[in-house]
């Protein structure tokens, strides 16, 4: 199986080529694949819906906005920052308790980190469970142990089968194959917490990513899907009918992801208007090329 090939043209010249690997799973069976389903990847921010399990289990005072922002990789839009502040307040915590650190290219302050909602959710879960606040990012902290158990259960793996690394926001992240990642997302709504989280993601796509985010735009176009992007060109999808999809850029770039998604999802019955071709524009806004499958 060949990967999905996406080309970047400026004028008539091919300026870059990106390759995407993808797999779709339903009921434990592979439906479709492109490239290598056994390609290893780290979940990174795609794990956030599963990292929100413990928050949903531990509290009965959560709003949909609380759950959405805990599952988000936000763009520091005003509504997103307001949601993080509200969840921190529910946790009895402040911005200084966030262990994500500041993020380059964002306004100063930890709350503007794109993972601050996840971290606020972790603090809120710790408060509800009576777990220590300090060091919640570390592998042996109770909430990180809970995250490991939840990810392993959804992926149908033993905990010791999951390689770990440190994510960009300082918490634990896990590695697995694309096929196993797709299976994990196909199982999302089989858990009560996962079903609630997926419903919230579909209801509030703007909070999950924001303006220009592929996951947000995908959910806006196909309301039956819950989508979450991760670093290095990873996007994962849970369908309301038990579909799980994982797609990953071999070179870690997101810019060809829309055409790659359109090509992979169309045979599965999803029409993605506006995804198959992305315009390349100069600094004046003039169209000078395109990004398409080839």
Given a cut of 90, whether residue 294 has pLDDT beyond it is: no
CB atoms closer than 10 angstroms to residue 137: 20
Residue 92 phi, psi dihedral angles, 5° rounding: 70, 30
Cβ(209)–Cβ(216) under 8 Å?
Answer: yes
Interatomic CA distance for residues 80 and 290, integer angstroms: 31
Structure confidence by residue, pLDDT tens digits, 228-270: 999 999 999 999 789 999 999 999 999 999 999 999 999 999 9
Read off the pLDDT of each residue in 159-170 and give the average, rounded to a whole number: 97
Share in percent of the chain as helix, strand, coil (round to 5): 40, 25, 35
Tokens of 209: 């990513």
Read off the pLDDT of each residue in 147-172 and give the average, rounded to a whole number: 98
Q: All domains of the chain, ordered by start, with CATH?
A: 4-293 (3.40.710)
Find, among 188, 118, 201, the residue nearest to 153 by Cα. Answer: 188
The pLDDT-based confidence of 93 (bands split at 50, 70, 90) is: very high
Structure confidence by residue, pLDDT tens digits, 20-41: 999 999 988 999 999 999 999 9
Interatomic CA distance for residues 241 and 226, integer angstroms: 11
Given a cut of 90, whether residue 44 has pLDDT beyond it is: yes
Given a cut of 90, whether residue 174 has pLDDT beyond it is: yes
Structure confidence by residue, pLDDT tens digits, 102-125: 999 999 999 999 999 999 999 999
Reported as half-sphere exposure (CB side, CA atoms, 13 A), residue 137 has a value of 17
Read off the pLDDT of each residue in 271-285 and give the average, rounded to a whole number: 96
DSSP state of 23: E
Q: Residue 50: what pLDDT?
A: 98
Read off the pLDDT of each residue in 164-193 and give the average, rounded to a whole number: 98
Interatomic CA distance for residues 246 and 237, integer angstroms: 6
Read off the pLDDT of each residue in 275-281 and give the average, rounded to a whole number: 97
DSSP state of 187: T
- Per-residue b/e over 21-51, b at no fewer than 16 CB within 10 Å? bbbbbbeeeebbbbbbbebebbbbbbbbbbb
Structure confidence by residue, pLDDT tens digits, 196-238: 999 999 999 999 999 999 999 999 999 999 999 999 999 999 9
Q: Residue 240: what pLDDT?
A: 78
CB atoms closer than 10 angstroms to residue 56: 23
- Chain mean pLDDT for the chain: 97
Interatomic CA distance for residues 38 and 24, integer angstroms: 12
Q: Is 199 exposed, middle or buried (CB count within 10 Å of its CB: 0-12, 13-18, 19+)?
A: middle
3-class SS at 242? coil
3-class SS at 124? helix
DSSP state of 243: E
Interatomic CA distance for residues 58 and 74, integer angstroms: 23
3-class SS at 284? coil
Give the CA radius of gyration of the chain: 19
Q: Residue 205: what pLDDT?
A: 98
Given a cut of 90, whether residue 82 has pLDDT beyond it is: yes
Query: What percentage of the chain has pLDDT greater than the value 90?
Result: 98
The pLDDT-based confidence of 1 (bands split at 50, 70, 90) is: confident
């Amino acid at each position: 199986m060949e990967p999905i090939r996406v080309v970047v043209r400026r004028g008539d010249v091919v300026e870059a080529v990106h390759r995407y690997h993808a797999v779709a799973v339903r009921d434990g069976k592979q439906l479709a694949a492109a490239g290598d389903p056994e390609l290893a990847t780290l979940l990174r921010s795609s794990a956030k819906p599963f990292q929100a399990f413990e928050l949903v289990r531990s509290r009965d005072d959560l709003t949909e906005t609380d759950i959405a922002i805990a599952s988000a990789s936000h763009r520091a839009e005003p509504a997103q920052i307001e949601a993080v502040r509200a969840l921190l307040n529910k946790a009895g915590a402040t911005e200084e308790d966030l262990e994500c650190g500041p993020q380059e290219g964002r306004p100063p302050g930890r709350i503007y980190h794109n993972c601050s909602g996840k971290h606020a959710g972790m603090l809120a879960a710790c408060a509800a469970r009576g777990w220590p606040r300090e060091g919640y990012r570390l592998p042996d902290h109770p909430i990180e142990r809970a995250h490991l158990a939840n990810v392993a259960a959804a992926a149908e793996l033993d905990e010791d089968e999951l390689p770990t690394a440190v994510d960009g926001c300082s918490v634990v992240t896990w590695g697995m194959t694309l096929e196993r990642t797709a299976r994990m997302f196909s199982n999302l709504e089989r858990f009560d917490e996962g079903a609630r989280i997926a419903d919230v993601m579909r209801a509030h796509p703007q909070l999950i990513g924001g303006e220009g985010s592929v996951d947000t735009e995908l959910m806006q176009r196909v309301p039956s899907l819950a989508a979450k992007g991760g670093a290095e060109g990873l996007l994962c999808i849970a369908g309301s009918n038990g579909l799980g999809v994982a797609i990953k850029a071999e070179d870690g770039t997101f810019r060809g992801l829309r055409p790659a998604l359109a090509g992979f999802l169309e045979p599965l019955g999803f029409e993605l208007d506006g995804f198959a071709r992305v315009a390349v524009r100069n600094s004046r806004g003039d169209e000078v090329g395109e990004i398409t499958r080839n």
